[in-house]
Amino acid sequence: MAFYVQKYGGTSVGSTERIKNVARRVAKFHAQGHQIVVVVSAMSGETNRLIALAHEVQVNPDPRELDVMISTGEQVSISLLAMALMELDIQARSYTGSQVKILTDSTHTKARILNIDEDRIRADLAAGYVVVVAGFQGVDEQGNITTLGRGGSDTTGVALAAALKADECQIYTDVDGIYTTDPRVVAEARRLNTITFEEMLEMASLGSKVLQLRSVEFAGKYKVKLRVLSSFEDEGQGTLITFEEDEDMEQAVISGIAFNRDEAKITVLGVPDHPGIAYQILGPVADANIDVDMIIQNVGHDGLTDFSFTVHRNEFNNTMNILKEKIQPHIGARDVLGGDRIAKVSVVGVGMRSHAGIASKMFRVLAEEGINIQMIATSEIKISVVVDEKYMELAVRVLHKAFDLEQAP
Amino acid sequence: MAFYVQKYGGTSVGSTERIKNVARRVAKFHAQGHQIVVVVSAMSGETNRLIALAHEVQVNPDPRELDVMISTGEQVSISLLAMALMELDIQARSYTGSQVKILTDSTHTKARILNIDEDRIRADLAAGYVVVVAGFQGVDEQGNITTLGRGGSDTTGVALAAALKADECQIYTDVDGIYTTDPRVVAEARRLNTITFEEMLEMASLGSKVLQLRSVEFAGKYKVKLRVLSSFEDEGQGTLITFEEDEDMEQAVISGIAFNRDEAKITVLGVPDHPGIAYQILGPVADANIDVDMIIQNVGHDGLTDFSFTVHRNEFNNTMNILKEKIQPHIGARDVLGGDRIAKVSVVGVGMRSHAGIASKMFRVLAEEGINIQMIATSEIKISVVVDEKYMELAVRVLHKAFDLEQAP
């Protein structure tokens, strides 16, 4: 007997037939004697439909009212799933974020969870109910409806698991776990049985968009066991996200290869090498609400240095304009260069902390294939390189093979 | 400067374009300095769509979960209207039934309002906001979402007007007021400027389905001025429902002609004329959840009497079976006869209290047209007759003319 919080996303509850499938899966766990709290998203497409309606009446929809509106998507899902469970003769009860209650701050459309009132859920579980909770939504101190932002249902699931001290938070999705890399690029990509929290963070932020980043951080903070599983397969253990390295049974040096072709690179040449120059360059970029990913500044010489960074490809032209018009004349840089036909490829693994030579191996493998490295950035558990976009798939494939990722450790 | 509660039904908010029209109308009142609380229904068709979804997953949808689901319809409407008002530079704020809060009993799908927390609305009005409240829904003591039953948005409007002591509750609908009879039957039918509460009750229950009956009773109980207006016309005073006869400026003897062809008649012949016989006949009918409308029992002779009543036409066969199988043998009645090709026609008016001869005039007019009267029932302000269905339109037209209803008094 265990206590699981199970979260089902929009695709898993995308139709009444799929909701019945979710009910059957929950029923199976319930029949095994487990206690189950289910968190559901809105039916796929519903949130976008509601947002479109809002834009028909208000050019910039008011955030408070938008939350009132889009929170109805999950409210429909919870009632449907509770009914589907009852149709299988299982006692079930649904709760909105306001009812549970999931207390958040008042930052409409991207609120943060402050507290969860667990008494009501505990009483229902003790009475044999399956409890169905609306994901993505909460309520602030004043009773206003709030939402947690895109993917917020994952966060609801993790927060409930933390508050209720569940044995595991199971995130059901349309993939059956976390892979060493995208199977569409490398056919030999392999599902990981476990991945560490830190690796998961790096994989998620690098574009393996299985879990919402904030929910993973939340799970790490509260030490919630998090498992990613497929809602379309009946068997399979998914991937367990662990928080202590010695739990990592696989002991692989490298866990996966992440990649991303959504970025563009910009280099400011001949920048005076004095304190505050990074802020002078990136301050106006941040003021324009442009997120910067990699930042590289090499050692300077002759009082000058070069400064490079990457931004989302959609922001490339905008960023180039800001640099050329506002920054270059202001700081007296020699030139501003850029390119948006690049890709970022990263090897990720906690093992590299204790294994030397990972970086040199990576660079050698790429060199053997004639792939030029344009930028390099490293963290404790990740090495990222920027290469020409056309080499991205090749780079991922040769690195996946070189680090033996197709074989279980 | 006045304080209005305005209620807009599903047709009035049936699209984002129509919601913008409602916003413009509210804005006009707001610009005149009036305080406005708006109650809205779900967009037309939405409640039925949600109920159909529920039936896809549960044969008999659980009432608590059904309320969670269908209450989302109004929740979408309130946020859209609040946004549309803001787009017109009017401060607006929406509230669900739970937020306001509209406290009800726990009778899901047909709950009754117990109390309304008015502080929040008063504070918003004082700060210059238009307050938009979801109709049809409330919350019980345990925090469960409840709904008030079909047409419950009218009741929400009246209840808010009562709690907040509004000057008037304005029900915007797709007709521009209450008519002396259905204009589709009598082209000369005339809109009434005022109608008394009691007349309205008789007109509503007789099939002039402009307002939900319970909301009218509620308005009567709390002396709320209730006005029916068209949401599609910019001018027009609609019909004001009054609660004191001396407010009735028109002083007409008869206010209108109501009719109904949804009924069937049943007569039990040769019933032993002793105490308790009415209960013996109607008890089993009530136990089968069949509503009885007119009931007539004449003075008996030779220890026997005849007992007649009407039911909804859909219940005719069912009721006949109950009477023939369970009741006739049990009480020893001679026979049970019935017919479902009948119509009920009623003249309604508080004036008949002080004017003799209304009934005889009605019977004479019908006799002159050769229309046979099958049953007669009277109340203080209404005389109803049952006639052959084929004479219904003729009866309504000649009575409308005979009582001079085409002319304002």
User: With an 8 Å Cβ cutoff, are B86 and A75 in contact?
Assistant: no
User: With an 8 Å Cβ cutoff, are B96 and A54 in contact?
Assistant: no
How many CA within 13 A on the CB side of residue B290? 25
Sequence length of chain B is: 409
Instruction: Write phi, then psi, for A400 (nearest 5 degrees).
Output: -60, -40
Confidence of residue B137 (pLDDT cuts 50, 70, 90): very high
pLDDT given for residue B122 in this prediction: 96
Measured between its terminal Cα atoms, the distance across chain B in Å is 31
Q: Which residues of B fall within a CB distance of 8 Å from A143?
A: 99
Tell me the nearest-neighbour CA distance from A30 into chain B, angstroms.
19
User: With an 8 Å Cβ cutoff, are B53 and A20 in contact?
Assistant: no
> Tokens 């490295």 belong to which residue?
A373
In tens, the pLDDT along B337-389 reads: 999 999 999 999 888 877 778 888 999 999 999 999 988 988 888 899 999 99
> Could you tell me how many CB contacts below 8 A there are between chain A and chain B?
105
Per the CB < 8 A criterion, the answer to whether A228 and A239 are in contact is yes
pLDDT given for residue A243 in this prediction: 78
Helix residue ranges per DSSP H, A117-263? 119-126, 152-164, 197-205, 213-222
β A194-196/A239-242 pair status: parallel
**What is the residue-averaged pLDDT of chain B?**
90
Q: Which residues of B fall within a CB distance of 8 Å from A144?
A: 99
Instruction: Could you list the residues of A known to form a binding site for substrate, using ranges.
Output: 47, 74
**Residue A106: what residue type?**
S
Instruction: Say how far apart CA B45 and CA A218 lie, in whole Å.
Output: 41
For A88, name the nearest residue in chain B, comparing CA atoms only: B58
Q: Is the pLDDT of residue B250 over 70?
A: no
Instruction: Say how far apart CA B81 and CA B130 lie, in whole Å.
Output: 10
pLDDT given for residue B209 in this prediction: 62
Q: Which residues of B fall within a CB distance of 8 Å from A98?
A: 98
Which residue in A16, A64, A69 is closest to B57 by CB distance?
A: A16
Q: How many CB atoms lie within 10 A of CB B168?
A: 16
pLDDT given for residue B244 in this prediction: 67
In tens, the pLDDT along B323-340 reads: 999 899 888 899 999 999
* pLDDT top residue among B209 and B308: B308
Q: Does A68 touch chain B (CB under 8 A)?
A: yes
pTM equals 0.80
pLDDT given for residue B276 in this prediction: 81
In tens, the pLDDT along B53-107 reads: 999 999 999 999 999 999 999 999 999 999 999 999 999 999 999 999 999 999 9
Per the CB < 8 A criterion, the answer to whether B175 and A131 are in contact is no
User: What does the pLDDT average to over B293-305?
Assistant: 83
Which parts of chain A sit beneath pLDDT 50? 207, 248
User: What does the pLDDT average to over B307-326?
Assistant: 92
Smallest Cα–Cα separation from A198: which of A217, A214, A222, A177? Answer: A217
Q: Does B115 touch chain A (CB under 8 A)?
A: no
Helix residue ranges per DSSP H, B42-138? 46-57, 63-87, 97-100, 119-126
Domain boundaries, chain A: 3-174
Token pair belonging to A60:
């910039």
In tens, the pLDDT along A132-190 reads: 999 999 999 999 999 998 778 999 999 999 999 999 999 998 888 888 998 888 999 99
Confidence of residue B245 (pLDDT cuts 50, 70, 90): low
Instruction: Say how far apart CA B41 and CA B44 lie, in whole Å.
Output: 8
pLDDT given for residue B242 in this prediction: 84
In tens, the pLDDT along A329-357 reads: 888 899 999 999 999 999 998 888 777 78
Instruction: Say how far apart CA B150 and CA B140 lie, in whole Å.
Output: 18
User: What does the pLDDT average to over B268-286?
Assistant: 86
pLDDT given for residue B143 in this prediction: 95
Q: Is the pLDDT of residue B253 over 70?
A: yes
Secondary structure (3-state) at A269: strand
User: With an 8 Å Cβ cutoff, are B65 and A72 in contact?
Assistant: no
pLDDT given for residue B203 in this prediction: 77
Confidence of residue B246 (pLDDT cuts 50, 70, 90): low
Buried-exposed string B391-406: b where 16+ CB fall within 10 A, e elsewhere: bbbbbbbbbbebbebe
Domain B3-174: assigned CATH number: 3.40.1160.10
Per the CB < 8 A criterion, the answer to whether B149 and B109 are in contact is yes
Compute and round to an integer the Cα radius of gyration of chain B: 24
Q: Which residues of A fall within a CB distance of 8 Å from B23?
A: 57
**Residue A229: what residue type?**
L
pLDDT given for residue A407 in this prediction: 86
pLDDT given for residue A161 in this prediction: 96
Per the CB < 8 A criterion, the answer to whether A204 and A259 are in contact is no
User: With an 8 Å Cβ cutoff, are A76 and B76 in contact?
Assistant: no
Which residue in A54, A83, A99 is closest to B143 by CB distance?
A: A99
Token pair belonging to A334:
């020699």
Instruction: Say how far apart CA B213 and CA B197 lie, in whole Å.
Output: 11
Instruction: Say how far apart CA B85 and CA B88 lie, in whole Å.
Output: 5
Strand partners, A383: A347, A378
pLDDT given for residue A233 in this prediction: 80
Secondary structure (3-state) at B228: strand
